[in-house]
C-alpha cells in the first residue's frame, strides 16, 4: 500500500545578481533552496569552515602527534556502514601521510560484536597490542568498551558525529561537533568529515612544530569524504556540499583511490559524469553490503587498496555480496508490506510502525524501515534477531521530518528505564537493541510517546516541486545542467518538476516498472516510473512529479522524465 501525496511548489527567494554563466533555470532552483549568490549555491574549498571552532581538537591532535613522535601503535576502529568504512580509510591513509608508521585498522563484525567499540571487540583487539585507539563514526555511546580499553592501559580518541547522551565516555579526547557547547558552525558533518577535520588540525599542529619534511595534500582524501558523507544521508549544508563537490571532482577526473574507481567500474557507472545519486544508489550500497551480510573489513580493505588489480577483485566481491543483499532485502520488504496490509485491514495506520520477523536479517532491517517509511510516510521501526534464534533483537528506525527519532528513543528510555538495551543515532535514523520479550512493551511505550510528540499534520506526505519546465528547458543541455549543478541530497534536494500530460502509450518493463510516452511541449517525451506498475492501466491524463535526466542508455541528445509521483489529472 502507499499513501496520497500533495505536490507543493517551492517559492524562490529574491536573489542578488547572478553571474552570466549561471543559467536561469539553475538560478531559480538555487534561489528556491535559499541560496542568494553563486558563492552560497556552489561553495568552493576556500569557503570551508576552518577547524578552529571544533571542540576537542587540541587534546586530539596532542594524542596523535605524541603517538607519531614516539612511534606508537595507532589502531583506527571503524564502523560497519559506509560512513564508518570511509572514515576508517581516511584515518589510516591520512595518519600515514602525516608520518605515522605504525597504523592498523579494525572494525566490529555486526554478528559477533554488535555496534561500536564493545568490550568484546576490545578483547579481540588485544592481539594487536595497540597504544592508541581512534574510533571513527562511533564511540560517543561506547562507555563500556572505552572503559575496557582504558583498563588495558590504552589511550582512546573518539571521533564521532552521533548525538551524545547525558554522560560522556571516559576517553582521553573526544571530537564531535554535536557535543553540547561545541561552537563548530556545521553540526551536519558525517563521521568521515569529522575524521578529515581532525587530520586538517593535526597537519597544522605538525606544521607549527616543524616536524613535517613535506606537507601532504589532504585534499586527496576528499573522494572518500564525499562518498561517506553522501552515504550517511547527513544534510548537505554549505560545508558538506563543499566537501562533496570537491570529492566528486576528483572522482570525475579519475583521481579517486583505486578501490572507489573499481567500484564505479563494477557498478557500470561513468566516472566522468558521476553524481551524488550514483554514489547513493550504486557505490555506497556495494560498500555497505559487506557490513550488512558479511564483514565490513572487506569494504575497508577495498578502500585502502592501492593496487588496481586487487581493488577490482575486492570490488567484484562487494558487487556479488550486494546482489545477495538485494535478494534478501526484496524478500524482507515483501514480507513487511504484507504485514503492513494486515495492519491496514484493522483500520487507520498508527502514527508509528513497529515490525518484527524472526527470520529477518539484522543487517538489512534499516533498509526495510527506510523503504516502508517512504511508502507510508510514517516513522518505521524494523526488528530482527541479532543472530538466528536469538532472543536479543536489533532494531533500526527511520523517521520523517519533524520527529527526531533519537530523541524519541531517549524519551522512552527515561520513561521506561531498562526497557531498551543500547541505542543511538540521528534525527532521521537510529539503531537499538531490545530483548524479544520486551518488544510488546516497547511498542506500547513508543506509540504513546510518538502520539504525544508528533503533530498529525506531519503525517500528510508532501512533495516539493520546482514548478513547471518551459519547453526550451526540456532538452539534453538542461538535463546535463541539472545533473552537474549539485551535489544534491538531504536539505539540498534534487530538482523536481511537475506538470499535466496526456498519455500516448505505456508498457510494463521488468515486471514492475512503467515506461510511458507522454505528449508534452508539443512533442513526445519518454518517461519511466520505477516500481510504478500497480496492476491496472494508468489513466489517459496524468499529473506527475518528475526529474529531468539524460537518457544515457539511448545516448546522443536523448532525455527522459523519471516519475516519482503520479496521479490522475
Fold of 6-32+466-568: OB fold (Dihydrolipoamide Acetyltransferase, E2P) (2.40.50)
CA–CA distance, 134 with 53 (Å, rounded to integer) = 21
User: In CATH terms, is domain 51-320 a member of 3.40.50.10190?
Assistant: no
**For residue 547, what pLDDT is reported?**
96
398: Cα separation from own chain's centroid: 12
What do you get for the CA distance between the two ends of the chain, in Å?
21
**CA distances in angstroms from 256 to 158, 242, 328, 547, listed in the order given:** 27, 17, 31, 28
Q: State the CATH architecture for 348-459.
A: Roll (3.10)
- Residue 74: in which H helix or E strand, if any? strand 74-77
Q: Where are the domains of the chain?
A: 6-32+466-568, 51-320, 348-459
CA dist 418 and 477 (Å) reads 58
Task: Give the whole-angstrom CA distance, residue 173 versus residue 41.
Answer: 35
- The whole-number pLDDT of residue 285 equals 94
Q: Which stretch of DSSP H or E encloses residue 277?
A: helix 276-278
pLDDT of residue 121: 94
**pLDDT at residue 460, rounded to an integer:** 87
Indicate the pTM of the whole model. Answer: 0.91
* CB-CB neighbours of 417 under 10 Å: 7
Q: What is the pLDDT of residue 115?
A: 80
C-alpha cell, 194 = 569529522
* pLDDT for position 388: 87
Residue 398 CA: distances (Å) to CA of 114, 121, 221, 385? 19, 27, 30, 18
* CA–CA distance, 164 with 231 (Å, rounded to integer): 21
The tens place of each residue's pLDDT in the chain, 569 residues long, gives 567 788 999 987 776 678 888 899 999 999 999 898 888 999 999 999 999 999 999 999 999 999 999 999 999 999 989 999 999 999 999 999 999 999 999 998 877 777 889 999 999 999 999 999 999 999 999 999 999 999 999 999 999 999 898 899 999 999 999 999 999 999 999 999 999 999 999 999 999 999 888 899 999 999 999 999 999 989 999 999 999 999 999 999 999 999 999 999 999 999 999 999 999 999 999 999 888 887 889 999 999 999 999 999 999 999 999 999 999 999 999 999 999 889 888 878 889 999 999 999 998 999 999 999 988 999 999 999 988 889 999 999 999 988 999 889 999 999 999 899 888 877 888 889 999 999 999 999 999 999 888 888 888 888 999 999 999 999 999 999 999 999 999 899 999 999 999 999 999 998 889 999 999 888 999 999 998 888 889 999 999 999 999 987 777 788 999 999 999 98
pLDDT at 17: 76
Amino acid at each position: 500500500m502507499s499513501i496520497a501525496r500533495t505536490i507543493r511548489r517551492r517559492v524562490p527567494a529574491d536573489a542578488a545578481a547572478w553571474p552570466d554563466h549561471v543559467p536561469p533555470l539553475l538560478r531559480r532552483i538555487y534561489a528556491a533552496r535559499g541560496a542568494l549568490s553563486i558563492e552560497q549555491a556552489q561553495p568552493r574549498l576556500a569557503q570551508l569552515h576552518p577547524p578552529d571552532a571544533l571542540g576537542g581538537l587540541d587534546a586530539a591532535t596532542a594524542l596523535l602527534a605524541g603517538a607519531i613522535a614516539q612511534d606508537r601503535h595507532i589502531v583506527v576502529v571503524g564502523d560497519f556502514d559506509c560512513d564508518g568504512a570511509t572514515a576508517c580509510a581516511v584515518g589510516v591513509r591520512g595518519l600515514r601521510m602525516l608520518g605515522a608508521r605504525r597504523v592498523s585498522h579494525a572494525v566490529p563484525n555486526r554478528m559477533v560484536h554488535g555496534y561500536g567499540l564493545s568490550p568484546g571487540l576490545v578483547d579481540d583487539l588485544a592481539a594487536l597490542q595497540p597504544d592508541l585507539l581512534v574510533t571513527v563514526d562511533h564511540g560517543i555511546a561506547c562507555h563500556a568498551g572505552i572503559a575496557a580499553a582504558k583498563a588495558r592501559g590504552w589511550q582512546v580518541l573518539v571521533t564521532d558525529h552521533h548525538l551524545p547522551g547525558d554522560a560522556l565516555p571516559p576517553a582521553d579526547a573526544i571530537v564531535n561537533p554535536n557535543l553540547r557547547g561545541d561552537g563548530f558552525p556545521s553540526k551536519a558533518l558525517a563521521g568521515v568529515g569529522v575524521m578529515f577535520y581532525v587530520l586538517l588540525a593535526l597537519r597544522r599542529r605538525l606544521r607549527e612544530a616543524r616536524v613535517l619534511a613535506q606537507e601532504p595534500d589532504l585534499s586527496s582524501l576528499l573522494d572518500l569524504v564525499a562518498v561517506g558523507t553522501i552515504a550517511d544521508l547527513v544534510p548537505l549544508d554549505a560545508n558538506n556540499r563543499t566537501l562533496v563537490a570537491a570529492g566528486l571532482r576528483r572522482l570525475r577526473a579519475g583521481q579517486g583511490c583505486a578501490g572507489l574507481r573499481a567500484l564505479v567500474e563494477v557498478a557500470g557507472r561513468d566516472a566522468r559524469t558521476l553524481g551524488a545519486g550514483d554514489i547513493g544508489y550504486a557505490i555506497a550500497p556495494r560498500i555497505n553490503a559487506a557490513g550488512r551480510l558479511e564483514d565490513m573489513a572487506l569494504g575497508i580493505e577495498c578502500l585502502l587498496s592501492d593496487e588496481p588489480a586487487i581493488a577490482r577483485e575486492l570490488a567484484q566481491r562487494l558487487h556479488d555480496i550486494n546482489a545477495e543483499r538485494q535478494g534478501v532485502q526484496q524478500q524482507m520488504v515483501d514480507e513487511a508490506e504484507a504485514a503492513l496490509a494486515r495492519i491496514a485491514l484493522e483500520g487507520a495506520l498508527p502514527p508509528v510502525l513497529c515490525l518484527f520477523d524472526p527470520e529477518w536479517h539484522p543487517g538489512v532491517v534499516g533498509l526495510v524501515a527506510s523503504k516502508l517509511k517512504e511508502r507510508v510516510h510514517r516513522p518505521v521501526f524494523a526488528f530482527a534477531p541479532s543472530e538466528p534464534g536469538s532472543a536479543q533483537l536489533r532494531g533500526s528506525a527511520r523517521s520523517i521530518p519533524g520527529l527526531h527519532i533519537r530523541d524519541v528513543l531517549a524519551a522512552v528510555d527515561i520513561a521506561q528505564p531498562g526497557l531498551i538495551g543500547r541505542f543511538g543515532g540521528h534525527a532521521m535514523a537510529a539503531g537499538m537493541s531490545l530483548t524479544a520479550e520486551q518488544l510488546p512493551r516497547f511498542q506500547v511505550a513508543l506509540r504513546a510517546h510518538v502520539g504525544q510528540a508528533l503533530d498529525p499534520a506531519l503525517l500528510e506526505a508532501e512533495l516539493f516541486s520546482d514548478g513547471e519546465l518551459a519547453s526550451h528547458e526540456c532538452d539534453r543541455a538542461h538535463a546535463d545542467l541539472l545533473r552537474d549543478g549539485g551535489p544534491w541530497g538531504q536539505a539540498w534536494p534534487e530538482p523536481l518538476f511537475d506538470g499535466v500530460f496526456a498519455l500516448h502509450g505505456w508498457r510494463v518493463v521488468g515486471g514492475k516498472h512503467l515506461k510511458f510516452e507522454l505528449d508534452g511541449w508539443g512533442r513526445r517525451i519518454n518517461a519511466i516510473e520505477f516500481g510504478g506498475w500497480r496492476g491496472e492501466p494508468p489513466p489517459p491524463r496524468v499529473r506527475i512529479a518528475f526529474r529531468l535526466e539524460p537518457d544515457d542508455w539511448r545516448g546522443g541528445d536523448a532525455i527522459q522524465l523519471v516519475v516519482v509521483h503520479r496521479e490522475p489529472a
